[in-house]
Chains A and B, each alone.
Chain A
Amino acid sequence: MERRDFLRRSVFAGVATGAGLTLGSFNDVFAGNYAAPYDMVAALGGEAEVMFEKAIASLGGMKAYVKKNQTVVIKPNIGWDVSPEKAANTNPKLVGKIVEHCLQAGAKEVFVFDNTCDNWQKCYTNSGIEKAVKDAGGKIVSGKSESYYQEVQVPNGKNLKKAKVHELILNSDVFINVPVLKSHGGATLSIAMKNLMGIVWDRGFWHKNDLHQCIADFATFRKPDLNIVDAYRVMKKNGPRGVSVEDVVTMKAQLIGKDIVAIDAAATKLFGLDPANIGHIPNAEKLGVGTTQLDKLKINRIKV
């Protein structure tokens, strides 16, 4: 380990522990406190980019989350070597639009990556996300080398006590999580919390040690500054990879919010299931990550 690396990690571990003890949020350290007018924005009926622009505007625009000269990391789901219509990956148009808004807000650099399941170059290309990111002026980065990942502690985790996390997540000022809503053979649904499995290296441990608990545990680590759930096309069965376009429905929905548990709960309802039945959602609520009580939240519902 290099000296600089060591220092960086030590400082980070210190911050992580401190934040954990005070039950504070990472977001305070990284992005400052922003009192958003809504806890969540839900949009329905439009194109992904259009819904995003209306939703983010109602939250005060991207400048409320990204300050001048900050670095931003965006984590879409790019897990599979399939085309956008199959909805196994986040909608590329949405990802491109988010990159654009971050840069307009004054971001110094916008990075996009995923620790993919299929061959990463093929995923990046065939998902259409690489092109969308580059066209928008962002940087697409590999997530497929252990050397990018650094071990961190997860002090509030029950089963998961440590994980190897991509350095971009650790080093960037703002972290935006952009999952796609879809069915999932193991986790029932894959939404925002499940999407965070793509920022860690050693996922086998999760599968071996109660997947639902580990997903919830990891959500106590660095909570994203913003979660944007793409539910434009939704894979209703055979997820997370899907077999054909016939697994997919066009739902034309989108959710944006900071509370990752609330976001997952709302998305589960969009999907037509009960959040209480998606193991990691109640698990995370128990750990104090967020709330599933949507009626207590201020939600802006937009129909496009």
Chain B
Amino acid sequence: MYRYLKGIRVTLSLLFFIAITFLFLDFAGLFVTSVFNGVTFLQFVPSVIKFFVIGGGLIALGFVIILIINLLVGRVYCSTVCPLGIFQDVITFFSKLFRKKKFRFKYSKPYNFLRYGILAIVVIAFLLGSVTLLALLDPYSIYGRFSSDFMRPLYILGNNLLAVIFEKLHIYAMYVVEIKHVNLLTLIIPAVFFVGIIWLAVTKGRLYCNTICPVGSFLGLVSKVSMFKLNIEDSSCTQCGKCAFACKSSCINIKTKEIDFSRCVACYNCVKSCNTESVKYKFAWVPAKKETIPPSTDKTKRDFLLKSALITVGAAGLTDVVKAVSNATAKLKPYKKKFLVTPPGSINVHHFAEKCTACHLCVSACPTGTLKPRFFESGISGLLQPYMDQSVNFCNFECVRCSEVCPTGAILPLTVEKKKLTQVGVVNFVIDNCIVYTKNTACGSCSEHCPTQAVKMVPYKGKLTIPEVNQEICIGCGACEYACPVRPYRAIYVDGNEFHKPAKKPESKKLDEKQIEEFPF
């Protein structure tokens, strides 16, 4: 049995990893909602938040399953379910292939102050209503951002390359996909994590998971009281050290033949490496001897603290980045949106801000590319969380995809019928910028796109018509704003609603038309 443990773990983890990655890459919408929900069900942080949002319920019990498994046999989540954990393993695996010297991990002491400190701060902040830190450090969300922000564009680029080649051969079965509009600043934080985590994975295995990751630290605490723990059989162990070399958590002290199970990610590399089959699970709910860990201030620890501090300072410095707006077109009337528009189902901007961990799954899933991560547009609390950028595209009237895939409940599911009557923002018409007014020519682009005719063309001068807005029936999809050809300040825009509210149903009267019997020409 023990021989197969690692194989089973590797197989399962790759399945999870590939499934999750593909969720983020899938631009063609091949997956149905249930696949999305099934794959994200076991993700710890989203599941916990969803549990709070919907007040319990089976669909949010993924984290309970993780906890039970953890309580039985340790941090299976970290090696098998967590995409960021598996990502690090994949990096470590490939980095080994490129090394001349055989790579060996070695035991290191835990950075308890740091890991429990971070965990405490993240939990306290979350309980006080700020999800920002948790969003930055939740491993699933970090990996989501890697996939959505970096891998997805590459994937699309690959697709487009093939599509163009086929197109030259007059085969149109594949199609070119437009890469979504991104604010490059929003890539900075994911990029820092990307480089940092890869570097740590190459040099230190799972140090990230055991020092910074709040989920790792929390599950580590649970591991301390697991029913079964991995243990080195004193009688058969020859202290050859192979298990410690194989341990990517650096948690096996071969001198004392001890495994720090709070840092063990249940990868079973040690089990596989042992020639004498000395590493085995042992029933641990028996009174144990007290262990004392001497305080350590070795060089690696100081290095690590310094580097983390630098990363923090670096990130803080970015708050000063200001978006420049061209003032070349002084003639146009400027406007400022009071609130960024959050997607239908997110109830209000506060609910969304407190529940979204910025995994960007909705950003990937949005078929029109309207959802986009923000930077500091709405302060630190909205960092990397998505909003509807209606200058780049608009929310499809018939679509509720984001609400279906959101794993945390920041966007709650709603039916298409309900969505069509949910006002996420409201239209504002700036006549001074309108082409019909400034140039005296026909346009109507905004009204053309409006699904409820909240923007309607009404008689103006001569044969001309000009937009007139009816805010009551506007749902804030932003089709009008997207379609308006005026730049940089448009003649029509959607201002976000702080609290989403019901929109009135557009009135419609049956037409009283007679059937044409004769040709009118």
**Interface residue ranges, A against B (CB under 8 Å):** 4, 42, 44, 81, 109, 111, 117-119, 121-122, 126, 139, 141-142, 144-148, 184-188, 204-205, 207-213, 236-238, 240-241, 243-244, 246-253, 265-266, 269-270, 272, 277, 279, 294-295, 299, 301
Q: Is residue B449 within 8 Å, beta carbon to beta carbon, of the partner chain?
A: yes
Complex-state Cα separation, A272 to B447, whole angstroms: 22
Question: B485 to A207, Cβ gap below 8 A?
Answer: yes
Find the B residue at minimum CB distance from A206.
B485
CA distance A251 to B511 in the complex (A): 12
Given contacts A111-B172, A269-B521, are A186 and B396 in contact (CB under 8 A)?
Answer: no
Asked if residues A211 and B444 are in contact (CB atoms below 8 Å), the reply is yes
- Which residues of chain B are within 8 angstroms of A210 by Cβ–Cβ distance? 439, 441-442
In the assembly, what is the distance between CA of A212 and CA of B444, in Å?
A: 11
A147 contacts B164, C-beta separation under 8 Å: yes
Q: How far is the CA of A251 from the CA of B520 in the complex (A)?
A: 13
Measured between alpha carbons, how far is A81 from B398 in the docked complex, in Å? 8
Do B506 and A121 have beta carbons less than 8 Å apart? no
Chain A contacts for B170, CB-based, 8 A = 109
Number of residue pairs spanning A and B whose beta carbons lie under 8 angstroms apart: 138
Q: Which residues of A contact B29 (CB under 8 A)?
A: 121
A299 touches B521 (CB 8 A): yes
- A56 to B327: give the CA distance in the assembly, Å: 57
Known contacts A121-B367, A141-B172, A144-B178; A243 and B451 CB within 8 A of each other: yes
10 smallest beta-carbon distances between A and B, as pairs: A186-B444, A145-B176, A185-B447, A142-B175, A185-B457, A185-B444, A204-B485, A210-B441, A246-B508, A141-B172
For B463, the closest partner residue in chain A by CB is: A277
B interface residue numbers (CB < 8 A to A): 28-29, 160, 164, 167-168, 170, 172, 175-178, 367-368, 396-399, 435, 439, 441-445, 447-453, 456-457, 463, 465, 483, 485-486, 506, 508-511, 513, 515-516, 519-521
Also in contact, A122 and B521, with CB within 8 A (given A147-B164, A208-B435, A244-B508): no
From A297, which residue of chain B is reached at the shortest CB distance? Answer: B521
B176 contacts A139, C-beta separation under 8 Å: no
| Dominant secondary structure of chain A at its interface with chain B | mixed
Complex Cα distance A146/B456, Å? 30
Residue of chain B at shortest CB distance from A183:
B457
Which of A44, A139, A272 makes the CB contact (< 8 A) with B172? A139
B199 vs chain A, min Cβ distance (A): 36
B396, B397, B441, most chain A CB atoms within 10 A:
B441
**Bound CA–CA A122/B486 (angstroms):** 27
Interchain nearest-CB distance for A117 vs B (Å)? 6
Contact B368 A145 (CB under 8 A): no
Give the interface centre of B443, B448, B457, B508 by most chain A CB atoms within 10 Å.
B448
User: A299 contacts which chain B residues (CB < 8 A)?
Assistant: 521
CB neighbours of B450 from chain A (8 A): 241
Q: What is the bound-complex CA distance between A121 and B176, given in angstroms?
A: 12
For B457, list chain A residues within 8 Å (CB).
Answer: 185-186
**CB-CB < 8 A to A301: which residues of B?**
519
Shortest distance between the CB of A4 and any CB in chain B (Å): 8
Complex: A212 Cα to B462 Cα, angstroms:
14
CA of A236 to CA of B177, assembled, Å: 35
Partner of A119, one of B396, B439, B451: B396
Establish whether residues B509 and A119, one from each chain, have CB atoms under 8 Å apart when the complex forms. Answer: no
Tell which of A187, A252, A266, A277 touches B444, judged by Cβ atoms closer than 8 Å. Answer: A187
Contact partner of B441 among A118, A146, A211, CB < 8 A? A211
Are A294 and B521 closer than 8 Å at their CB atoms? yes
List, in ascending order, chain B residues with CB within 8 A of A236's CB: 511, 513
